[in-house]
Structure 1
């Protein structure tokens, strides 16, 4: 593809996404970097520095998966939004992002069965008990003592579901008091909402199981609950069609996610965030595969589409130019290039990411990557 000048790049045109007015179309997606404090789940000072470094004027950041309850933490070093201390710590982060003219959403999460009693201290909850999931050696959970298999789980009783929906609503209220600009609901990653969506994990016979419409009910109720706090135009939904991460699977994923995209049209959400099938969890399945999920769901969902999964600056530009998506989420390159939008806009080289530092640790590989200008200054002084 022929390199475009700065003025020609569609990635750097303004976009209206729900209630958000953005100056460019590159998004930092929710990336679980596991630098929160244990056991409090308090966001750390390192996290404040990390998000502040990646805030750009008029750009959108989506903060990492954040547990709505202590038992819903997917990883021991994941942050929470279920105490007043969490609100205060997150407020430091949102203030730092806003000071640079950025916007930041919080991804609300509940791990469901994909966790351990070593983290939450209680039996994990899910849509249906699945012994096969417990036998899947590819599924692990990070704990203070290292990687372990998920703990045995239990199915939510019908009467309990409303209580979990209420937890999401309360978490949305806390996110608002913490200074976020909106929230994203994670309906992927093999966590609780997706455990209700897919029939490989949902064998229920009540109003939350069986038909596609019933399996979507849990997510639809959560959207309704958090929208009472924010307004639907500040609520996004993230899905990962066809992903098998964390033991996921559906007998007809295409029918499921097409139906869901159509149904979301009735709720006025800000955007639908689609993870391409070429990425599953942190792994790239097929880097040469086209962005098929966003292309298909974008023809059904009437609102803005954020596409994620294996994009480069060139393919991101192509995707927006072709109308495949309105915005592009670029994760891995954002980990090592805090000034990623600036580099892409000006055709500057990218620093390669360090996969060994993705999950947990200190500031190494997290907050110590320099901007392009900082690198140039160091070279001039050398």
Structure 2
């Protein structure tokens, strides 16, 4: 779950060590994927989000990875560029944000000082800019491994930069990166190829949201687009593919728009580990795994509020209720103070509330 790295320079703050430590202890050797972490200065669009493109950021992640791996968890960093869902105030020299096209997303953005504003008009990436963005993902993956992570997840979902190329609504380009499904998927595939070459395909996953409209994106033929994309990604030998279910829009539940919208289309052709995310509760997760709908279920909101979630679900125990109002705040409340099944918060968290 995304939290705010309040330290200058987008370096993870100290409470992240405690947060990830709690969930590493509770996940019983499972997979933890970080909050979305920015690959470059031009990739920001939210206040105080952590990065992985400077030496200081790499050093800031090291105590977190050390603590997580001490407890036996597998730890992947989700690497990310928001593209046009940003504002000039986030950009170096207040330049326009970057995207597939120079078209503005509808919606609101919170500026670095926390005030709301509208998205600003982006600049379309030219071929040199595309090559530079691909290299930023490649370097971010290398930096993550250097920081101690086991692997990286390429964030190709939720209306951010890669999704702004994949989906036709924000991508009306007429060059080799727009138009046909093959061209619209080219950017994502070239990033995957570069990252796999840099750190090894066994250390790489990718997240996709075929049916998502978050960030003012859409695809009128999502199954065709993502069947092709899945088939091509199969050739890389990735660690996993991670799909967002159609019942999720951004960070909220929604109605499925069409009866054909189902990630089973991609599950059937994927050759490796398949992860599903979006609106899962205990019963739905068990059914999804037992019916072979997916191999793994990814949790955000429930895991944020229940560091020992695997045990609670295994023993069918009640869950802590998450506080949505505190999801994106910078403090420790609603982050480090959710109690474990025994009713206590770890003593290691006490110093953050002194």
Sort the TM-score into its range (normalised by shorter chain): over 0.9
1:179–1:253 CA distance, 2 compared to 1 (3 A): same
Q: Structure 2: how far apart are the matches of 1:127 and 1:376?
A: 45
**Structure 1 consecutive aligned stretches of length 4 or more whose deviation exceeds 4 Å:** 287-292
Match of 1:182 in 2: 151
Verify: 1:79 aligned to 2:50, yes or no: yes
- In structure 2, the residue matched to 1:212 is 181
| Residues 1:363 and 2:332 are matched in the alignment | yes
**Correspondences of 1:51-66 after superposition (within 5 Å):** 51-55=20-24, 56-66=27-37
Secondary structure, counterpart of 2:36 in structure 1: strand
Offset of 1:116 from its aligned partner?
Answer: 1.3
Q: Please, which of 200, 208, 219 is the counterpart of residue 239 of structure 1?
A: 208
TM-score, normalised to structure 2, is: 0.92
* Structure 1 residues without counterparts, runs of 5 or longer: 1-30
Conserved 8 A contact 2:108-2:116: no
> Can you give the 5+ residue segments of structure 2 that lack an aligned partner in the other structure?
348-354
Which of 60, 71, 81 does residue 110 from structure 1 map onto?
81
Q: Provide TM-score, normalisation by structure 1.
A: 0.86
CA contact (8 A) 1:139 1:247 kept: no
Look up the SS of the partner of 1:264 in the other structure. Answer: helix
Residues 1:77 and 1:269: Cα distance change in structure 2 (over 3 Å): same
Q: Deviations over 1:41-98 (max 9, x none)?
A: 1101111111111113311000011111112012112110010010011111101101
Instruction: State the partner residue of 2:263.
Output: 294
Q: Of the candidates 180, 203, 219, which is equivalent to residue 250 of structure 1?
A: 219
CA distance in 2, matches of 1:49, 1:90: 12
For residues 313 and 143 of structure 1, the distance between their equivalents in structure 2, rounded to whole angstroms, comes to: 37
- Deviation of residue 241 (structure 1)? 1.4
Q: How many residues align?
A: 343
Larger deviation, residues 162-171 vs 251-260: 251-260
The question of 1:203 aligning with 2:172 is answered yes
Instruction: Kindly indicate whether the alpha-carbon contact (under 8 Å) linking 2:7 and 2:13 is maintained by their aligned counterparts in 1.
Output: no
Secondary structure in 1 aligned to 2:329? coil
Give the deviation of 1:147 after TM superposition: 2.1
- Matched position secondary structure for 1:40: helix
* Contact kept? 1:278, 1:289, Cα under 8 Å: no
What is residue 352 of structure 2 aligned with on the other side? none
Deviation at 1:290, TM superposition (A): 9.4
Aligned to 1:372, what secondary structure does the other structure show?
Answer: coil
Taking the aligned partners of 1:288 and 1:192, their CA distance within structure 2 comes to 23
Displacement of 1:360 in angstroms is: 1.7
Counterpart for residue 16 of structure 1:
none
